[in-house]
C-alpha cells in the first residue's frame, strides 16, 4: 500500500507559529526557509543537492537562534499547539508528534514483530522509546546525548561509524 500517512501540521502553520513565538519571546531565528541550499550545505556539511532536499519542509521547520535563548520559545509554541525539538546542531519546531508516533504504524504495515531504531540526537528520543531495541550513536563530539530510555544500547561509534556499528 503506497498510502501516505501524515502526522504533522502543514508547513505554513508551523512556520507562522515559529515566527509568532519568536516575536513573543523577543528572539531572532533563521529557518531553513530563510536559507539558500548553499547556506544549508555550508552549515550542515550536506552536499548542495541534499541541502535542497532538506530545505523542502512539509511539517516542520529547522532553524538556528540568532540571538536569545531557544528554550524561551517553548511556552509560546505550546499555546500554538507546537513543540520544540533539539537536534544535534539545530532546533526544529513541529506539531505535537515525534518520530516515535510513526513506529506502530510502520510496524503494523510491515508486519514487524520486533522493532529497532538508531538515533543520535534528542529528536530521536520518542522513536527510541517506541521500539523494542533502541540504539544511540555518539555525537560528533564523542558524547552521547542525554536521555533516559529503558534498555537503550549506547554504541561506541561516532557519527557514521556508529551507524555502521548498529
**1: pLDDT strictly greater than 60:** no
Q: Which value, to the nearest 10 degrees, does the dihedral of the CA atoms of residues 144, 147, 149, 155 take?
A: 0
**131: pLDDT strictly greater than 90:** yes
CATH architecture of 11-97: 2-Layer Sandwich (3.30)
Reported as a pLDDT band with limits 50, 70 and 90, residue 52 is very high
Q: What ranges do the domains of the chain cover? A: 11-97, 100-165
For a pLDDT cut of 70, what percent of the chain falls above it?
99
Find cell 515566527 and name the residue: 19
**152: pLDDT strictly greater than 60:** yes
Classify residue 114 as exposed, middle or buried by CB count within 10 Å of its CB (0-12, 13-18, 19+).
exposed
**8: pLDDT strictly greater than 60:** yes
Residue pLDDT, tens place only, 70-89: 999 999 999 999 999 887 78
User: How many CB atoms neighbour CB 125 within 10 A?
Assistant: 23
Instruction: Tell me the average pLDDT of the chain.
Output: 93
Distance CA 26, CA 78 (A): 16
Strand 82-86 to 91-95 pairing: antiparallel
**125: pLDDT strictly greater than 60:** yes
Average pLDDT on 122-135 reads: 94
Amino acid at each position: 500500500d503506497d498510502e501516505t500517512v501524515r502526522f504533522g501540521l502543514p508547513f505554513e502553520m508551523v512556520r507562522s507559529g515559529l515566527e509568532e513565538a519568536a516575536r513573543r519571546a523577543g528572539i531572532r531565528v533563521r529557518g531553513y526557509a530563510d536559507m539558500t541550499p548553499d547556506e544549508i550545505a555550508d552549515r550542515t556539511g550536506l552536499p548542495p543537492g541534499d541541502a535542497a532536499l532538506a530545505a523542502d519542509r512539509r511539517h516542520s521547520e529547522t532553524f538556528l537562534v540568532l540571538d536569545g535563548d531557544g528554550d524561551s520559545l517553548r511556552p509560546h509554541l505550546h499555546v500554538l499547539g507546537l513543540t520544540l525539538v533539539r537536534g544535534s546542531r539545530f532546533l526544529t519546531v513541529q506539531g505535537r508528534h515525534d518520530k516515535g508516533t510513526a513506529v506502530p504504524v510502520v510496524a503494523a504495515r510491515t508486519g514487524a514483530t520486533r522493532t529497532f531504531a538508531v538515533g543520535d540526537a534528542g529528536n530521536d528520543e520518542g522513536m527510541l522509546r517506541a521500539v523494542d531495541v533502541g540504539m544511540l550513536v555518539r555525537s560528533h563530539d564523542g558524547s552521547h546525548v542525554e536521555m533516559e530510555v529503558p534498555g537503550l544500547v549506547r554504541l561506541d561509534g561516532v557519527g557514521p561509524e556508529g551507524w555502521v556499528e548498529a
